[in-house]
Chains A and B, each alone.
Chain A
Amino acid sequence: MSEKILYGCTALFDSPDSVINAAAKVAEEGYVKYDVHTPYPLHGMDKAMKLKPSKLGYIALIFGLSGASAAMLTLWWMSAVDYPLVIGGKPFFPYPAYIPVVFEITVLSASIATVLSMLFFFFKFPNNIHPLHGTRYMKKVSADKYGILIQADDPKFDESLVKAFFENTGAAEVDLVYWDDEEISHNNSILEPKFLIFLLAAAVITSGATYVSFNKLLYIIPFNWMSEQPKLSAQQASPVFKDGFGMRQPVAGTVARGFLPYQFTGQPDLAGEKLTNSIPVSKRSLEAGRVNFDIYCSPCHGFYGDGASRLHGQFPNPPSLHSEKIRNWTDGRIFAVITEGQNVMPSYATQLSTEERWEVISYIRALQRALNAKESDLK
């Protein structure tokens, strides 16, 4: 026993009150290197031990603030500098939209930094060896007793004095704890090769497992039962056909049912000459034209075709449909604009079928006539 080095002196107490009183006395005596171990947190222990408030709060604050500013800077750089995009008509740097994201990153970085600094600075990770491990004292204080430990490297430590002091404070058991040989020779450096290899292995295993499960495992039987099907997807190659393409061209000289190809692409004036409104004007067709006009045309041209719309002033202003020029256009000329678009106006061929386009044109004619009535209309 004599060659063993003393780590400290422990004392076990039976009740939380006695351990709080004893801890206060230890602090009063002027010991500095001591600690209290209890099965659960005791109210009032901080005060008895005269502990200063933990420094962890500052770490959380610093990392939280740097996380917040890093997130805001990243978002600003991505959306306002590097790749500006108009999203929902908002400015390039819509900071109110980023506040929830920045808030989350603040919380995330603060909590990760707190946990890591607690592990590395306060618990001295990766050190996992401590003289108290495996002692009777440790078993007791993690079950039903309350203990105090005074370390031997405390400047005021004296074996017999400490023992007597503990017995005076009402300790149920007083014991000495020694270092093991293994613990003394143990190197606690963070750069220990064993630990680094462990870290590296952990990284390789995690990333490897992730890669294998997402890129390989999911594509073998039975996980691929739904994803791989014996049919052709769009753009897929196929050996059945000579040219190797899976997608086929329509047979030359045929037209799909209910569909007439538009023959005047790029020739609006020609379309104006050749095309005529094929839908007879009726109450039903005008009503159908009004519904589609209100849905597709009114956001720019306004509900009455006069250009007074919600988007007025936000784009090159949409023209009025009551101008001399448009009133003199033929139906076919307007049909060409709806089909192909003009200037900022996009094509509406996919939204409106051929018939619907003619109905909208009839409704536009009705609007024009309402504003520019002829003498004969009044009779």
Chain B
Amino acid sequence: MSFSTIEYRKKPLPAKVGIAGFCLLALGLILILLSYLTDSDRSAYNNIIGLSFLISLGVGALFFVALEYVAGAVWSTPFRRAAEFISSTIIFLPVLFIPLLLNLNRVFSWTHPLPADKSLIGKAPYLNTNFFIIRVIAFWLIWLIFYHFLTRNSKKQDESSDQQLTQKNIKLSAAFMPIFAVTITFSAIDWLMSIEPHWFSTIFGVYYFSGTVLASLAACTILIVLLNENGYLVNGLKPDHYYSLGALLFAFINFWAYIAFSQFLLIWYANLPEETVWFLTRWYGSWKLISIGLIFVHFIIPYFGLLSQPSKMNSKRLLIMGGWILFSHYYDLYWLVMPNYSKEGVLFGWPELGFPLFISGIIVLVIYYKTKRENLVPIGDPKLRRGIDFRL
């Protein structure tokens, strides 16, 4: 048997991508500054949504990279770089969490508990400002370290084709898995659940994790399909690759629905006031529409969008559903956070737009500069040939 050599010529993305990225970034930044100047409270809540979204994309993509190594998957090797590029947004997380750390008491009532509030006083050993800041920075450093070493080994392999580097990355990824589980769970508890510090749900970490993986997978899918359709990746990628991406997306759509419904069912059935209050906040006034809409936006529409076999192989459908899933994850985070700020009803205006624009800018620019400097395909990876030949 003869192996045909893999033909890959590196092409940088067109300059207009970079310009578009800068425009998004600048527009977002202006809106963020304006909203922080006019209404700091509201902006801080939006900041949490934005931060959680960026954690979802960056850390979720790193999880996807690690998953490929741990599982020994070959089908995703030809486009693993897409996930690596998106995971480099981890570097920019401080841009979003430093303004929040300076404004903690605008959002988090546990920073200044009432003396009579025994529940919060009891939680103070965990929920206090110092420990919170330590956790946020520690988690960020952990993610950064794993990001750095995983991608460094992968990049080195482009030149050396050294198989030992894959072995090293497998060990790193195996170590990353439990650490990822713990850090993502506590990030969800810290940033999202502790906005309502009296309320608790033991499944909340898994709930955020399901959204995280779904959103980062959707972002990777969009990037992979766009790059491949425009000829930036290697030749020979087949509908089978698209199908696998679509099937994974479809699986996590169902996983999210399963977890979200489990959380709702247990709280609804037990009917304990200290637990139901969380859903009642989201059932008050016009928030009811957003809550019902979540079922459609996050589950029913993407479910039927990716149900049939041909739809998972169709590049256009994957792009549309990928974009839709990213939107639905932002919608989900908005539903998690905003009812605590605007208790009377849905609130949406220009201050809500700043962070999505800013984050899109970050992602576009990160991808633009990464593709300029690095190969878009891990050409030294020993699994690449098998990955291109992958068939369902």
Contacts and interface: CB of A to CB of B under 8 A. Distances in A.
Q: Are A and B subunits of one complex?
A: yes
Contact of A89 (B264, B271, B273, B391): B271
Contact of B391 (A43, A57, A88, A99): A43
Nearest to A54: B309
Contacts of B268: 96
A313 interface: no
Contacts of A44: 391
Interface in B265-285: 265, 268-269, 271, 273
Interface in A288-334: 310
A97 B391 contact: no
Interface residues of A, number: 12
A43 B391 CA distance: 6
Given A44-B391, A88-B271, A89-B271, A57 B265 contact: no
Contacts of B264: 96
Interface in B235-254: none
B392 interface: yes
B261 interface: yes
A100 interface: yes
Contacts of A310: 273
Contacts of B309: 53, 57
Given A43-B391, A43-B392, A53-B309, A99 B269 contact: no
A96 B273 CA distance: 18
B310 interface: yes
A97 B269 contact: yes
Contacts of B308: 57
Nearest to B273: A310
A281 to B, nearest CB: 32
Interface of A is mostly: loop
Contacts of A88: 269, 271
A171 B310 CA distance: 34
A99 B271 contact: no
Interface string A66-105: 0000000000000000000000111000001101100000
A79 B268 CA distance: 18
Nearest to B265: A96
Nearest to B390: A43
A115 to B, nearest CB: 20
B261 A99 contact: yes
Interface string B7-18: 000000000000
Contacts of B310: 53
Interface in A12-44: 43-44
B391 A100 contact: no
Contacts of A57: 308-309
A100 B273 CA distance: 24
A62 to B, nearest CB: 14
A44 B264 CA distance: 43
Contacts of B269: 88, 90, 96-97
A88 B268 CA distance: 11
A240 to B, nearest CB: 50
Interface in B299-335: 308-310
A60 to B, nearest CB: 11
A314 to B, nearest CB: 12
Nearest to B239: A47
A310 B310 CA distance: 55
A16 B64 CA distance: 33
A53 B271 CA distance: 47
Interface in B107-153: none
Contacts of A43: 391-392
A229 B265 CA distance: 45
A97 B265 contact: yes
Interface string A193-209: 00000000000000000
Interface string B184-207: 000000000000000000000000
Contacts of A89: 271
Contacts of B271: 88-89
Interface in A85-144: 88-90, 96-97, 99-100
Contacts of A96: 264-265, 268-269
B265 A100 contact: yes
A41 to B, nearest CB: 10
Contacts of A53: 309-310
Contacts of B273: 310
Interface in A236-275: none
Nearest to B307: A61
Interface in B377-392: 391-392
A57 B392 CA distance: 18
A310 B271 CA distance: 12
Contacts of A97: 265, 269
B303 to A, nearest CB: 12
Nearest to A61: B307
A30 B308 CA distance: 29
A100 B269 CA distance: 13
A198 B261 CA distance: 46
B256 to A, nearest CB: 15
Nearest to B310: A53
Given A43-B391, A99-B261, 14 more contacts: A53-B309, A53-B310, A57-B308, A88-B269, A88-B271, A89-B271, A96-B264, A96-B268, A96-B269, A97-B265, A97-B269, A99-B265, A100-B265, A310-B273
9 contacts: A43-B391, A43-B392, A44-B391, A53-B310, A88-B269, A88-B271, A96-B265, A97-B265, A97-B269
Interface of A: 43-44, 53, 57, 88-90, 96-97, 99-100, 310
Interface of B: 261, 264-265, 268-269, 271, 273, 308-310, 391-392
Shortest 7 CB-CB distances between A and B: which pairs?
A43-B391, A96-B268, A44-B391, A96-B265, A53-B309, A43-B392, A97-B269
